Amino acid sequence: DAKTTQPPSMDCAEGRAANLPCNHSTISGNEYVYWYRQIHSQGPQYIIHGLKNNETNEMASLIITEDRKSSTLILPHATLRDTAVYYCIVRVNSNYQLIWGAGTKLIIKP
Amino acid sequence: DAGVTQSPTHLIKTRGQQVTLRCSPKSGHDTVSWYQQALGQGPQFIFQYYEEEERQRGNFPDRFSGHQFPNYSSELNVNALLLGDSALYLCASSLAGGGSINYGYTFGSGTRLTVV
């Protein structure tokens, strides 16, 4: 079973920051937090990952709480093309599989 | 730089038949994982191939088998198809098996299998 809990859906206005929460209260010390997204009818796309420090790349920022029990993915200026299902996954590096939950369906509205 | 290529994109099979799906990994990647994604759900891990061997397997019956070739491409075979096998089958490639911790897995667009 997935070790993460996400809201099933969220809306965000175009141009605004989209903040997607994820709870992973049973995360272990050696488990990373990964975020992927899946646009309709496409394969999942890697966004970002982190262990305990906040991370930023060209796509998004990842904020992990100090106790590592939750995290937030931030899309700073959402566009219509960011409409997708976003998955939060925790994974230890030695385990090759990704265990997926149902994700959050993010709808960007004009 | 070609990403992950899967074929065919769509397939319709009859219950009881066998099917083979194909995957070419991203250039430079040597490991292939297969996932099954039912409608409205997250992907489920089937297995991973590295160095032409199945390295890890998810909770799928023996009807699901695979193969990896010396050029790192891979096939997923499903025997005795059931209606419940209808799903999107995703292939993901990575480097050195673990899914490079810095870049994650690269997924193909999948093969949509419909069993009737």
Q: How many CA atoms lie within 13 A of A110 on its CB side?
A: 0
- Closest residue on chain A to B91 (Cα): A43
Does a cis peptide bond (omega within 30 degrees of 0) precede residue B8? yes
Q: What angle do CA A92, A96, A100 make, to 5 degrees?
A: 75
- Mark which residues 26-55 of A lie under 8 Å from B by CB: 32, 34, 36, 41-46, 49
Please tell me whether residue B110 adopts helix, strand or coil conformation.
coil
Alpha carbon distance, N-terminus to C-terminus of chain A: 36
Amino acid A30: pLDDT? 84
Q: Are A108 and A82 in contact (CB under 8 A)?
A: yes
- Alpha-carbon separation of residue A38 from A53, A69, A74 (angstroms): 25, 24, 16
* Ranges in chain A, pLDDT < 50: none
Interval B25-34: pLDDT, tens: 999 899 999 9
Mutate to test the interface with B, among A48, A96, A105 (most CBs of B within 10 A): A96
What integer best gives the mean pLDDT of chain B?
92
Interval A47-75: pLDDT, tens: 999 999 899 999 999 999 999 999 999 99
A96 and B55 within 8 Å at the Cβ level: the answer is yes
B103 and A46 within 8 Å at the Cβ level: the answer is yes
